[in-house]
Amino acid sequence: MTRVRRVICEVIDRQPGPVEAERVLREAREIDGLISASSVYRTLASLAEGGFLAGVKGTEDRQVYMRTDPEGKGSGHIVCLDCGKMLPLSGPLLDADRVRQLQQAGFRPEQIQIRVEARCGCSRRNGGNGG
Protein backbone atom coordinates (compact mmCIF):
# COMPACT_ATOMS: atom_id res chain seq x y z
CA MET A 1 0.00 0.00 0.00
CA THR A 2 1.37 3.40 -0.94
CA ARG A 3 1.76 6.22 1.57
CA VAL A 4 -0.97 8.19 -0.23
CA ARG A 5 -3.46 5.32 0.04
CA ARG A 6 -2.53 4.80 3.68
CA VAL A 7 -3.26 8.48 4.45
CA ILE A 8 -6.59 8.29 2.59
CA CYS A 9 -7.56 5.10 4.45
CA GLU A 10 -6.65 6.68 7.78
CA VAL A 11 -8.86 9.68 6.99
CA ILE A 12 -11.76 7.40 6.06
CA ASP A 13 -11.23 5.30 9.18
CA ARG A 14 -11.56 8.39 11.41
CA GLN A 15 -14.99 9.23 10.01
CA PRO A 16 -17.87 8.28 12.32
CA GLY A 17 -20.38 7.98 9.48
CA PRO A 18 -20.78 8.55 5.76
CA VAL A 19 -18.17 10.69 4.04
CA GLU A 20 -17.97 12.57 0.75
CA ALA A 21 -14.87 12.39 -1.43
CA GLU A 22 -14.36 16.15 -1.07
CA ARG A 23 -14.09 15.82 2.71
CA VAL A 24 -11.63 12.94 2.38
CA LEU A 25 -9.55 15.05 -0.03
CA ARG A 26 -9.59 18.08 2.26
CA GLU A 27 -8.55 16.11 5.35
CA ALA A 28 -5.97 14.04 3.47
CA ARG A 29 -4.38 17.24 2.15
CA GLU A 30 -4.05 18.49 5.73
CA ILE A 31 -1.72 15.52 6.26
CA ASP A 32 -0.05 15.57 2.84
CA GLY A 33 -0.65 18.63 0.68
CA LEU A 34 0.34 16.77 -2.49
CA ILE A 35 -2.52 14.24 -2.43
CA SER A 36 -4.56 14.63 -5.62
CA ALA A 37 -8.30 14.39 -6.13
CA SER A 38 -7.76 11.55 -8.58
CA SER A 39 -5.89 9.56 -5.91
CA VAL A 40 -8.81 10.00 -3.51
CA TYR A 41 -11.42 9.01 -6.12
CA ARG A 42 -9.37 5.98 -7.27
CA THR A 43 -8.86 4.83 -3.69
CA LEU A 44 -12.57 5.22 -2.85
CA ALA A 45 -13.48 3.28 -6.00
CA SER A 46 -11.02 0.51 -5.13
CA LEU A 47 -12.35 0.26 -1.57
CA ALA A 48 -15.91 0.11 -2.89
CA GLU A 49 -14.99 -2.50 -5.49
CA GLY A 50 -13.30 -4.55 -2.77
CA GLY A 51 -16.44 -4.40 -0.63
CA PHE A 52 -14.94 -2.31 2.17
CA LEU A 53 -17.06 0.76 1.37
CA ALA A 54 -20.43 1.22 -0.24
CA GLY A 55 -21.01 4.19 -2.49
CA VAL A 56 -24.50 5.48 -1.83
CA LYS A 57 -26.54 8.40 -3.05
CA GLY A 58 -26.96 11.04 -0.38
CA THR A 59 -29.09 14.14 -0.58
CA GLU A 60 -29.08 16.15 -3.79
CA ASP A 61 -27.74 13.03 -5.57
CA ARG A 62 -24.31 13.50 -3.97
CA GLN A 63 -22.23 10.34 -3.73
CA VAL A 64 -21.14 9.42 -0.22
CA TYR A 65 -19.26 6.41 1.06
CA MET A 66 -20.10 4.28 4.07
CA ARG A 67 -18.36 1.31 5.61
CA THR A 68 -19.91 -2.01 4.73
CA ASP A 69 -20.75 -4.88 7.03
CA PRO A 70 -17.41 -6.46 7.98
CA GLU A 71 -18.82 -9.85 7.00
CA GLY A 72 -19.51 -8.48 3.53
CA LYS A 73 -23.24 -9.15 3.60
CA GLY A 74 -24.37 -5.68 2.65
CA SER A 75 -24.93 -2.14 3.67
CA GLY A 76 -27.89 -0.02 4.52
CA HIS A 77 -28.61 3.50 5.56
CA ILE A 78 -31.33 5.94 6.49
CA VAL A 79 -31.26 9.43 4.97
CA CYS A 80 -33.35 12.34 6.23
CA LEU A 81 -35.12 14.00 3.31
CA ASP A 82 -35.09 17.35 5.14
CA CYS A 83 -31.61 17.80 6.61
CA GLY A 84 -29.62 15.11 4.77
CA LYS A 85 -28.43 13.39 7.95
CA MET A 86 -27.44 9.80 7.22
CA LEU A 87 -27.25 6.90 9.63
CA PRO A 88 -26.01 3.39 8.91
CA LEU A 89 -28.33 0.46 9.51
CA SER A 90 -26.80 -2.16 11.75
CA GLY A 91 -27.48 -5.85 11.97
CA PRO A 92 -28.52 -8.22 9.21
CA LEU A 93 -30.26 -6.49 6.31
CA LEU A 94 -32.35 -9.55 5.48
CA ASP A 95 -33.73 -12.01 7.96
CA ALA A 96 -33.00 -15.71 7.64
CA ASP A 97 -36.43 -16.41 6.09
CA ARG A 98 -35.82 -13.94 3.22
CA VAL A 99 -32.37 -15.38 2.55
CA ARG A 100 -33.86 -18.90 2.43
CA GLN A 101 -36.56 -17.70 0.01
CA LEU A 102 -33.91 -16.26 -2.29
CA GLN A 103 -31.86 -19.44 -2.15
CA GLN A 104 -34.90 -21.65 -2.81
CA ALA A 105 -35.67 -19.52 -5.87
CA GLY A 106 -32.15 -20.20 -7.15
CA PHE A 107 -30.56 -16.89 -6.15
CA ARG A 108 -27.36 -16.49 -4.21
CA PRO A 109 -27.27 -12.99 -2.67
CA GLU A 110 -23.89 -11.39 -3.24
CA GLN A 111 -24.58 -7.85 -2.13
CA ILE A 112 -27.47 -6.17 -0.36
CA GLN A 113 -28.00 -2.42 -0.19
CA ILE A 114 -30.97 -0.87 1.54
CA ARG A 115 -31.80 2.84 1.50
CA VAL A 116 -34.54 4.20 3.74
CA GLU A 117 -35.68 7.75 3.02
CA ALA A 118 -37.38 9.28 6.04
CA ARG A 119 -37.75 12.48 8.01
CA CYS A 120 -36.00 12.82 11.35
CA GLY A 121 -38.24 15.60 12.65
CA CYS A 122 -35.63 18.31 12.21
CA SER A 123 -38.10 20.52 10.29
CA ARG A 124 -40.65 20.33 13.12
CA ARG A 125 -37.98 21.28 15.65
CA ASN A 126 -37.03 24.24 13.44
CA GLY A 127 -40.59 25.46 12.93
CA GLY A 128 -41.37 23.64 9.64
CA ASN A 129 -44.03 21.05 8.99
CA GLY A 130 -41.64 18.05 8.85
CA GLY A 131 -43.34 16.57 5.83
Residue 21 belongs to a domain: yes
pTM of the model: 0.64
Residue 8 belongs to a domain: yes
Q: What CATH number is attached to the domain comprising 43?
A: 1.10.10.10
Residue 130 belongs to a domain: no
Residue 96 belongs to a domain: yes
Q: Answer whether residue 39 shows pLDDT above 90.
A: yes
Total domains, the chain: 1
Residue 20 belongs to a domain: yes
Side-chain half-sphere CA neighbours of 83 within 13 A: 13
Q: Is 121 left (phi over 0), alpha (psi -120 to 50) or beta?
A: left
Whether the Cβ atoms of residue 55 and residue 63 lie closer than 8 Å to each other: yes
Nearest to 26 by CA among 17, 35, 18: 35
Residue 30 belongs to a domain: yes
Domain of residue 43: give its range: 3-125
Residue 116 belongs to a domain: yes
Residue 7 belongs to a domain: yes
Whether the Cβ atoms of residue 66 and residue 77 lie closer than 8 Å to each other: yes
pLDDT digits over 42-81, tens only?
A: 999 999 888 788 787 776 677 888 877 665 556 677 888 8
CA 84 remoteness from chain centre? 13
